[in-house]
Structure 1
Amino acid sequence: MPFLEVADRVWVARYDWFDVNVTLVRGSGGLLLVDTHASTRAAAGVVDDVRALGVGEVTGVINTHEHFDHTFGNHEVRRAYGAVPIHAHETAAERTILAGERAQDRYREDLDDPHRDEVLATEIVPADHTFSSAVVLDLGDRVVELVHPGRGHTAGDLVVRVPDCDVLLAGDLVEESAPPAYGDDCYPLEWPWTLDILLGLTTSASVVVPGHGAVVDREFLEVQRNQVGLVAQSIRDLAGRGVRAEDALEAAEEWPFPRAALTLAVRRGYAQLTRGERRLPLA
């Protein structure tokens, strides 16, 4: 059974493709599906797994951010369950189609990828229920909180808090099976502050579900926050010393993650520095 219960009426399925997590939260008034996988075909498998679990019909969907591996199943879930509401942060909803089209462009160029056809065949459906900072969803005998803690992995990240069982679904603000994904739409200098908000939403007993990889706890979150903070501080320090962006990765003696995972972190970080934080080397 792909879905495993990690807390009271909260189930997580970890799928091999992207090692992505899909989560179910059940209340007396409905069943929420958090993230929908990376294609119509993949989402059909998720729907089959939900039905095999036998805990009810999906009555709502949440996208933790706009990237295709978390949103491309939206269309299939609606085909299976009707016009259920899809919730996301307003920025993520606004960018879902563009982000999806960019992903499809990458797959279109890769003739050898085994998932190419299913990604290209997917109809992109953005969220239609949005919020700016926080919203509470009523599931009857429990509430679910959607919080935009700030920018980090993207500009439109949200986290899902289930307060009665101390669960936090962190999306790709937290990753367990790989370094945090610094893409071309990330905010590396703000990411540590965003993780500080997540820490404020958790306790020592919290169950934290990352966007990818195994379920973790607050201690893991603290460690990753410090690592992400070190990346941000290193970028600021290097720029302050006059190190050029193109030289920064090699100029630092040590990074908390492999250098290959930080190319865009450095590029984006330098671009987001204020003028006073940048100092060009003297000729």
Structure 2
Amino acid sequence: MSKAFASQGDLTDKKTSFVEIGDGIYAFTAEGDPNSGVIIGDDSVMVIEAQATPRLARKVVDCIRSVTDKPISHLVLTHYHAVRVLGASAYGAREIIMSDAARGMVMERGQEDWDSEFGRFPRLFQGHEEIPGLTLPTTTFSDHMTVYLGKRRVDIMHLGRAHTAGDAVVWVPDAEVMFTGDIVEYHSACYCGDGHFADWTSTLARIADFDPKAIAPGRGDALIGREMVGKAITATADFVASTYRPAAKVAARGGSLKQAWDAVRAECDHKFAHFAIYEHCLPFNVARAYDEARGIATPRVWTAERDRQMWAELQG
């Protein structure tokens, strides 16, 4: 390999923020690292996204304890990726919630994803020795479920495929706040390596139909105010389309993965190169776009070995 993945060289600690985005609703953000969310109910707390390790999860718990001493009763995981779920043990939640599809992906490819991401994100996996194993839910749902934190209603929904086949969003009706996982990003590249390009835009439109006052995206700053929310949804749709379109043109004429890489760079670099994790995501995004355009409907499993093979092909 001529050079390492961009994420392997990203070893600088990120500044975290804990911002109230609705009454008793918070976004934990970290300069392009995975975000988490917090919903405080009458007598307990729901957390959205666990972080990559118990060590990182305890930073979220510390922030929670700065605003409430209520117990953490529920943990919602919007999808199966290791950097989102492997810190779950730190919360002590009595319920861990995923969609049925996300649980299936843990069973099918969770260990491979863990091995792959461990190799690509050395900083996020500091303290990995504490991870007890794959995170499995205690509760799953197909399309929709509702949890009551006392009187506070929380709707957990699968609105469609996007970042993965099992994406969930979390909606708090009384505050009109949504947690979208990695379906929506803000000034951060979308990771599309397990994505569904043909469905992503329609899933974004379903999110927009809720007309949220605020969104905690998967990465990037909290989106407060409908104008900021709208801009982020539009920018995410543009990122996804701008990645898929040139790769699909190359695939249609029988071009190579390397040619697709060059075409996507030509389309995207001038618009998105300043986004967080752009260089990290790009090779995986191109590979998945190229596959989908050639009719591979289900994203192929990423393994540490496949990572290396793909990267060598793009660098060759």
TM-score range, shorter chain: 0.7 to 0.9
Matched, 1:57 2:74: no
SS at match of 2:154: strand
Per chain length, whose mean CA-contact separation is higher, i.e. which structure has more relative contact order (CA < 8 Å, sep 6+)?
Answer: 2
Task: Provide the TM-score with structure 2 as the length reference.
Answer: 0.74
- Does 1:209 pair with 2:223? no
Query: In 1, are the aligned partners of 2:78 and 2:168 still within 8 Å (CA)?
Result: yes
Kept after mapping to 1: 8 A contact 2:43/2:71:
no
Which position in structure 1 is the counterpart of 2:242? 230
> CA–CA distance in 2 between the matches of 1:268 and 1:108?
20
Aligned residue runs from structure 1 range 1-283, under 5 A: 3-15=18-30, 19-78=33-92, 84-96=94-106, 100-102=110-112, 104-106=114-116, 113=122, 116=125, 118-123=127-132, 124-183=134-193, 185-203=194-212, 206-216=213-223, 217-251=229-263, 253-255=266-268, 256-258=271-273, 260=279, 261-273=281-293
What is the letter of the counterpart of residue 201 of structure 1?
A: F
- Backbone CA RMSD of aligned residues: 2.8
Cα distance in 1 between the residues matched to 2:245 and 2:22: 36
Q: What is the DSSP-based 3-state SS (H/G/I as helix, E as strand, rest coil) of the residue aligned with 1:175?
A: coil
Per the alignment, in what secondary structure is the counterpart of residue 20 of structure 1? strand
1:172–1:211 CA contact under 8 A, matched in 2: yes
TM-score of the pair, normalised by structure 1 = 0.81
> How far apart are 1:90 and its partner, in Å?
1.3
Distance, in Å, in 1 between the alignment partners of 2:58 and 2:191 is 26
Instruction: Measure, in 2, the Cα distance between the counterparts of 1:236 and 1:207.
Output: 34
Instruction: Give the stretch that moved more between structures: 62-71 or 247-256.
Output: 247-256
1:27-83 deviation per Cα after TM superposition (whole angstroms, max 9, x unaligned) = 2253211111111222233223322322511111101111122211211212xx5xx
- Describe the superposition over 1:251-270 as per-residue Cα deviations: whole angstroms up to 9, x where unpaired: 46422534844322232223
Structure 2 gaps, min length 5: 1-15, 224-228, 296-316
Identity of aligned residues (%): 25
Residue pair 2:82, 2:117 contacting (<8 A) in 1 also = no
Q: Partner amino acid for 2:215?
A: V
What secondary structure sits across from 1:267 in the alignment?
helix
Are the equivalent residues in 1 in contact too, given 2:243–2:289 (CA < 8 A)? no
More deviation, 135-144/231-240: 231-240
Mapped contact 1:12–1:21 kept (Cα < 8 A): yes
Matches of 2:46 and 2:125 in 1, distance apart? 29
**C-alpha separation in 2, matches of 1:186 and 1:197:** 17
In structure 1, C-alpha distance between the alignment counterparts of 2:249 and 2:28, rounded to whole Å: 40
- Matched pairs, number: 266
Q: d(CA) in 1 for partners of 2:114 and 2:254?
A: 38
CA contact (8 A) 1:74 1:126 kept: no
Q: How far, CA to CA, are the matches of 1:200 and 1:9 in structure 2?
A: 23
Give CA-to-partner distance per residue, 1:197-248, whole Å, 9 cap, x none. 2222225xx2011111101222221222133223333333333344443312
The answer to whether the 8 A contact 1:107-1:119 is kept is: no
Where does structure 1 lack aligned partners over 5 or more consecutive residues?
276-283
Q: Structure 1, residues 166-208: CA drift from partner, whole Å, max 9, x if none? A: 111111112224211122x2223322222122222225xx201
